[in-house]
Amino acid sequence: MPAFATDTARRHWRGTVLLCSAFLLALLPGRPGSSEGPHLREILARDFISVHTRNTPTTYYEGRQGPTGFEYELMRRFANHLGVSLTLNADHHIQGVLDAVREEGDLGAAALPLNPMLEGLLFSRPIMLLQPLLVYRRGLHPPEAIEELEGLEIGTLRGSGTDRVLRELQAEHPGLSWKESSELEVAELLGQVAEGTLDAAVIFEHQFRLNRLFFPEVEDGFTLGKPLSLAWAFPAGRGLGLVNAANRFLDDLRREGELDALVANYFGHDDYLEYVGARTFIQQARERLPRFTELFREAARNSGFDWKLLAAVGYQESHWDPEATSPTGVRGLMMLTNATAGDLGVDNRLDPAQSIHGGARYLRELKNRLPESITGEDRLYMAMAAYNVGLGHLYDARKITEQRGGDPDRWRDVRESLPLLQEREWHSQTRHGYARGGEPVIYVRNIRRYYDILAYLDRSQEQFHELNARLPDGVDSDVFQLVPPKT
C-alpha cells in the first residue's frame, strides 16, 4: 500500500480488490480451460509492445535524465520482463487511450481507473489506490463537507474515475453540480482553479501531490467517496495471454516489495514548499532570474549541467542576490567561500558571472570526485549535498549509512544518515566530526523542488506540454460540459 494510505483507505482498498476479484477471475493465470490466444504470441514475434499513455507527471514525461514517470517505469519493466522493446504513444487524453487500445494498441497505461463495465476492454489486477480529492482556490472558505460544494464552480476530468465518483455522490446529494472535460489534463485543471475560472476541482490525491508545487494558490480540501483502483487496459477478443502475463508480472513486483517501493518513491513523499515560499520563488523566477539566465546557460554549457539546476542552486544559496554575504564569510550569488573561490580562480565573488561560473565548476568538481560506484541522480544529489556540507562530511555520512546496513551509494539511504552527524554518538566515530547534517537534506530537497518549478515554467514558455497538455486545434477555450444538479 502507498505510504500515505490511512487505515480507512486500506479497508477500502481491500474491499475494491475483493469486489473486482470475481469479475477478474477469468483473467487469473492458470485458469483451467482458458485460451491464451494470439496476442502475446504476436508481441513476442514482432519483438515490441505498443503502449498508449498520457503525457502527465503521474504517467510519462521527459525528465532531466530522460523518460520517467510511475507508469513509464512499470511499462519499461514489463517490456523487459517480456524480453521485447517498448514503443509509446503519449499523444492522448483518457478517451484516446481507451479508443487506441480497442483499435490497435497492445496496452493502455495512463492512470486509468479499473472499470470492468467498459466494452471492448479487459483490465489487469489493481496496481495502486486512487483516492478522489476535492481541491479549492486559496481565499475561498475552506469546504469541509459535500453539502458545502453546492453553488461552487467545480471541474473534473471525464473518464478519469473522479467523474464516476461525483455521479455516485450526486445520487445522495442531488444539488451537486460540476463541469467535466475530456480535453484537459490535471495541470490545466489546477491552473483554472488557481486563476479563478473554477472554484474547485476533483482530482486524485497522488496527482495533487505531484502538481501542487506548481500551484501554491490551490489548497487540498477533503477526500470524496471510496478509493478506486488504477489498472492497465487491454483489448478484448485477442486472448488472455498478455493480460495473464501482466498479472503475473504485477504479482511478482508486489510480492518482492518492488511495487510498493515504486509507489512510495513517486507518490509517498510530499516535499511541498510552503505557500509563501513557493509564491515568492515563482515571482522572483519571473522578475529577478531573467537578469542571470544567460549566465546560467553559459555555465551550463561549460559544466555539462542543466542551466535550470544551476539556477536552482543559485536561488537556494542567495535568492539570486549577487551581493549576498553570510555571517560565516561566504559571498556572492553562488555563496563561495574565500578559499574555494581562490581554488577556482574567482577573484571577485560579488561579480555574478564569476560567481555563477565558479559555482558550476565547483559542483562539477565535487561530482567528479565522488566514487564511481555512485551513479545517476544519486551522484548528482550527493554532489549537491557536498556543495552544502562539504565532501568530508558526506563521506562520513556514507560510512554511517554502511554501518547502519544501508547502501552508501544511494541518496535515499545517505540522507537518512546525514542528520546523525549532529549526534555525538555518531559524529564521534567519524573523521570530520560534527556537522549540521539536517541542512544538506533540506538543501537538496529544496533545489530539486526549485528545479521542478523552473522546468515547468520553462516548458510553459516554450509551449511544450510534458506536464500540461496543449489543447488540440479548433477546440474552444470552454471545453467543459456541465453536469447539472438533479434537484
Catalytic positions = 317
Q: Which of 210, 208, 159, 161 is nearest to 181 (CA)?
A: 159
Alpha-carbon distances of 182 from 91, 191, 455, rounded to whole Å:
14, 16, 26
Helix axes 241-255, 39-46, angle to 10 degrees: 80
Residue 299 C-alpha cell reads as: 555555465
Burial tier of 326 (Cβ tally within 10 Å: 0-12, 13-18, 19+)? exposed
Strand-pair category, 154-157 with 121-123: unpaired
Residue 341 C-alpha cell reads as: 573561490
Strand-pair category, 85-89 with 48-52: parallel
193 vs 163: CA distance, rounded Å: 17
Report the run of H or E that residue 208 belongs to, with start and end: helix 205-211
Burial tier of 61 (Cβ tally within 10 Å: 0-12, 13-18, 19+)? buried
- Counts of helices then strands in the chain (DSSP H, E): 19, 15
CB distance 134 to 224 below 8 Å: yes
What does the chain come to in residues? Answer: 487
